[in-house]
């Protein structure tokens, strides 16, 4: 990811002056830690998006804010204000949210789909002491949570849990309380949640899905090209890589290159998505999660090896 951004002219230090050097795996009964294959940087989407938008504007792109696309019909994008844009090519980058007319297949979500939840943790010495220069993965039944400190020192805590767990708990707030009680180390971190901060949520995340075909002139990017389980930490890299690959394909072949681009990018995603999906499913089983921590303690090189295997 950092190498791709540097190709675009965005230095890693502009994202976050501090580096992430370790990965930490935590369960109810144990913890394992290992160095990352290479230093990483954690940045909020606001910071990353601001830098990339400024870079795009400097390169001559026209940027319009506050206008959403409600639906796609063929090559026509219908906007929220009633206007329509008929384009030669469409680059679909709506993330985990589907756009009417180009929604991903319902079966990609499964019978018990995954929900994404996110909360912010207060910056300060307590968070610094608990997390430090590591990215953490907390493994729990039917889900996991990832935590890292961002450029402003705050903690970005993202969770992926099965819908059945939320239904059992009743509300997102009750689910957080339940997870904190189930995993005491996670509960210690959740105690640093920003007062009155909202719980951001996204439903029906189709982890493991890849777009292997494309409609004429439609380039699917990011999560619309493939959804890697978030524990891999590769979502932003997929968004950047797919955008760069789609731009190169369009420059060389125009809108007719959409289908070949999608096939090639799906093949590029196959191994990292498959491996990350296997790790995700294993982590949902408490006994397998406990075994993973035990193995990682005895052979710390396994964690960076897994990290390398899920890179795009």
Give the chain's largest Cα–Cα span. Answer: 60
Tokens of 310: 């899920």
pTM for this entry: 0.91
Domains parsed from the chain with CATH numbers:
2-44+111-205 (3.30.9.100)
Is residue 109 very low, low, confident or very high in pLDDT (cuts 50, 70, 90)? confident
Distance separating alpha carbons of residues 25 and 136, to the nearest angstrom = 6
pLDDT digits (tens, 9 = 90+) for 179-234: 999 999 999 999 999 998 899 999 899 999 999 998 899 999 999 999 999 888 89
Q: What contacts 107, CB < 8 A, 6 or more positions away? A: none
Q: What is the pLDDT of residues 125-156, one digit of tens each?
A: 999 999 999 999 999 988 999 999 999 999 99
* Residue where the block lists tokens 């002491």: 129
- What radius of gyration, in Å, describes the C-alpha atoms of the chain? 20
Residue 65 binned pLDDT confidence (cut-offs 50, 70, 90): confident
What pLDDT does residue 74 have? 83
Q: What is the pLDDT of residues 227-281, one digit of tens each?
A: 999 888 899 999 999 999 999 999 999 999 999 999 999 999 999 999 999 999 9
């Amino acid at each position: 990811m950092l190498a791709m951004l540097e190709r675009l002219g965005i230095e890693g230090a502009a994202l976050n002056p501090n580096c992430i050097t370790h990965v930490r795996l935590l369960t109810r009964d144990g913890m394992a830690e290992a160095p990352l294959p290479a230093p990483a940087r954690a940045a909020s989407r606001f910071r990353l998006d601001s830098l990339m938008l400024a870079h795009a504007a400097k390169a001559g792109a026209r940027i319009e804010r506050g206008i959403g696309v409600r639906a796609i019909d063929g090559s026509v994008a219908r906007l929220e204000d009633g206007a329509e844009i008929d384009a030669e090519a469409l680059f679909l980058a709506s993330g985990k949210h589907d756009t009417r007319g180009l929604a991903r297949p319902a079966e990609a979500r499964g019978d018990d789909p995954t929900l994404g939840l996110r909360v912010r943790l207060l910056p300060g010495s307590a968070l610094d002491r608990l997390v430090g220069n590591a990215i953490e993965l907390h493994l729990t039944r039917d889900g996991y949570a990832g935590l890292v400190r961002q450029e402003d020192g705050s903690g970005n805590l993202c969770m992926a849990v099965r819908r059945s767990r939320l239904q059992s708990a009743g509300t997102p707030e009750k689910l957080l309380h339940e997870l904190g009680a189930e995993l005491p180390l996670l509960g210690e971190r959740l105690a640093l949640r920003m007062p009155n901060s909202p719980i951001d949520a996204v439903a029906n995340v189709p982890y493991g899905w890849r777009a292997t075909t494309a409609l004429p002139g439609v380039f699917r990017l990011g999560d619309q090209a493939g959804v890697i389980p978030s524990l891999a930490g590769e979502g932003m890299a997929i968004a950047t890589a797919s955008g760069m690959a789609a731009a190169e394909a369009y420059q060389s072949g125009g809108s007719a290159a959409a289908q070949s681009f999608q096939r090639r990018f799906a093949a590029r995603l196959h191994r990292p998505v498959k491996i990350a999906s296997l790790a995700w499913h294993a982590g949902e089983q408490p006994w397998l999660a406990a075994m993973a921590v035990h193995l990682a303690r005895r052979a710390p090189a396994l964690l960076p090896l897994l990290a390398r295997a899920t890179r795009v």
